[in-house]
A and B are shown apart, each in its own frame.
Chain A
């Protein structure tokens, strides 16, 4: 147990409430966190580009993305700034559908955004029904502040891995740290193991 702060009682969650990862607290609204201005991406110029370790490229325009089968995941979100939001409803295309036809032996992915943001994660974490290119939230088109027109959604990792304004996925043989990871945040970021910072 840590150092006790005298007189601190805290506000505990009621018995039987959904368990949260360590160090997280529950929020009902949807805070916005990003490192710079919100990019605006016109749909007629939007594209998603997957580049393999052999520099082979796969592209989807917005209309091509829209023609793919969609899924409607309802997932919990955990942000490294300590808030968690439960049962959020999204609509998007599974990464399995996008990456299924991509030939690669890579083990890592570096995801990039319009606006220049990047984040890294193992390729396996984008597969098996655990990650989506999401473009609707709570029944509406995803607003730019939350990553619209489309963001990556990888809810089993801290939310900074769910890159807003997603533009590309580079498949890599070796892990390459992204924006926050270079600044000291964890390369993997599992909220249940509280992997907030490098070394956790």
Chain B
């Protein structure tokens, strides 16, 4: 068990789960916390790692006033027990046996299940080409920055493109902007290749990206979405 900070407001918890049945990339778990008087609260979190025995990694974004996320990113100490239920979800998943090219479009904390897919691709020995478009407010807000840099270099067939919405790094070739037709055209796949598209992030982000993909000619049935509501917790 371990914990590491991804950004100033996001923390990855590495949990050791006895009898974990394994999971598919993109699935999530329910985390249930119980207070001393029996009060409980539960929330869903995407799994960040590829299946690896009983090891489970969750990256939790602290939500202001979020009763579960504030605990997990703050009070929680490595070794404290939490209750986990899962894995859950059978639609927003990617399996290493899938033969089609993949486009991943993540906004903010929406990278988490997409990162599990990138990790599962390598772990499963898949050679399917992956393209990730990752939208973050500023360079400091990106999760897994070092690992994505390394993987973009070493994981053959993985392309990583960033879009900065508020503040770009110095000397970045374009001003801050949102993911739109331009980014999806240049850093995505042409619809003729019929990629599987996974879009995850806040509701407005997912709506815009999914609508744009359909407008560009992607089959709506091949655009899978997962939305994080503004409430979370």
Is chain B found bound to chain A in the same assembly? yes
Stretch of B51-59, B105-113, B130-138, B206-214 on the interface side: B206-214
Given A36-B220, A82-B44, A184-B88, the answer on whether A9 and B231 have CB atoms closer than 8 Å is no
Tell me whether A37 and B210 are in contact (CB under 8 A): yes
**With A27-B229, A179-B91: A3-B81 Cβ-Cβ less than 8 Å:** yes
CB <8 Å contact, B39 and A81: no
Q: Kindly state whether residue A6 has any CB partner on chain B within 8 Å.
A: yes
With A2-B34, A3-B34, A10-B33: A35-B39 Cβ-Cβ less than 8 Å: no
Is B210 in contact with A36, judged by CB distance below 8 angstroms? yes
> Which positions 152-181 of chain A face chain B at CB distance < 8 Å?
179-180
Q: Name the B residues within 8 Å of A184 (CB-CB).
A: 88-90
Min CB–CB distance B157 → chain A (angstroms): 25
Do the beta carbons of A23 and B42 come within 8 Å of each other? yes
Q: Are A10 and B81 in contact (CB under 8 A)?
A: no
The interface residues of chain B lying within 8 Å CB-to-CB of A31 are: 203, 227, 229-231
B223 at the interface (CB under 8 A from A): yes
Using a CB–CB cutoff of 8 Å, the interface residues on chain B facing chain A are: 32-36, 38-44, 65, 67, 71, 75-77, 80-83, 88-92, 203, 207, 210-211, 213-214, 220-221, 223-225, 227, 229-231, 233
Contact A10-B213, Cβ < 8 Å, known A4-B34, A36-B221, A183-B89? no
A10 to B44, CA, bound (A): 16
Whether the Cβ atoms of B35 and A145 lie closer than 8 Å is no
Q: Which residues of A contact B214 (CB under 8 A)?
A: 37
Chain A residues with CB under 8 Å of B233's CB are: 25, 82
B231 & A2 in contact (Cβ 8 Å cutoff): no
**Residue A18 CB within 8 A of the other chain:** no
Q: Are B34 and A36 in contact (CB under 8 A)?
A: no
Interface contact A27-B231, CB-CB below 8 Å: yes
Closest CB of chain B to A137's CB: distance in Å? 16
Q: Are A10 and B35 in touch, CB under 8 angstroms? A: yes
A-B contact count (CB 8 A): 116
Minimum Cβ distance to chain A for residue B175 (Å): 28
> How far, in angstroms, from A182 to B90 measured CA to CA in the complex?
8
Given contacts A9-B35, A36-B223, A180-B91, could you give 6 more A-B pairs where the C-beta distance is less than 8 Å? A3-B83, A11-B65, A29-B231, A33-B229, A39-B220, A145-B203
A197 within 8 A of B: yes
Is A32 in contact with B34, judged by CB distance below 8 angstroms? no
B227 contacts A32, CB within 8 Å?
yes
Q: How far is the CB of A1 from chain B (nearest CB, A)?
A: 5
A11 near B67: Cβ-Cβ < 8 Å? yes
Most buried by A among B88, B211, B229: B229
Give the complex CA separation of A197 and B89 in angstroms. Answer: 10
* Shortest beta-carbon distance from A163 to chain B in Å: 15
Measured between C-beta atoms, what is the minimum distance from A96 to chain B in Å?
32
Q: Tell me the nearest residue of chain A to B44, going by C-beta.
A: A81
Q: Report the nearest B residue to A85, measured CB to CB.
A: B231
CB distance from B180 to the nearest CB of A (A): 15
Q: Across the A-B interface, give the 7 residue pairs with the lowest CB-CB distance, nearest first.
A: A31-B229, A183-B90, A37-B210, A2-B34, A11-B67, A27-B231, A7-B75
Write the chain B residue with the least CB distance to A3: B81
| A10/B41 in contact, CB under 8 A | yes
Q: Can you list 11 A-B contacts with CB-CB less than 8 angstroms, sorted by A residue number? A: A1-B34, A2-B83, A3-B82, A5-B33, A5-B34, A5-B80, A8-B33, A25-B41, A27-B231, A38-B211, A180-B91
- A4 vs B35: C-alpha distance when bound (angstroms): 6
Do residues B207 and A83 form an inter-chain contact, with CB atoms below 8 A? no
Complexed CA–CA distance, A12 and B227 (Å): 26
B67 touches A10 (CB 8 A): yes
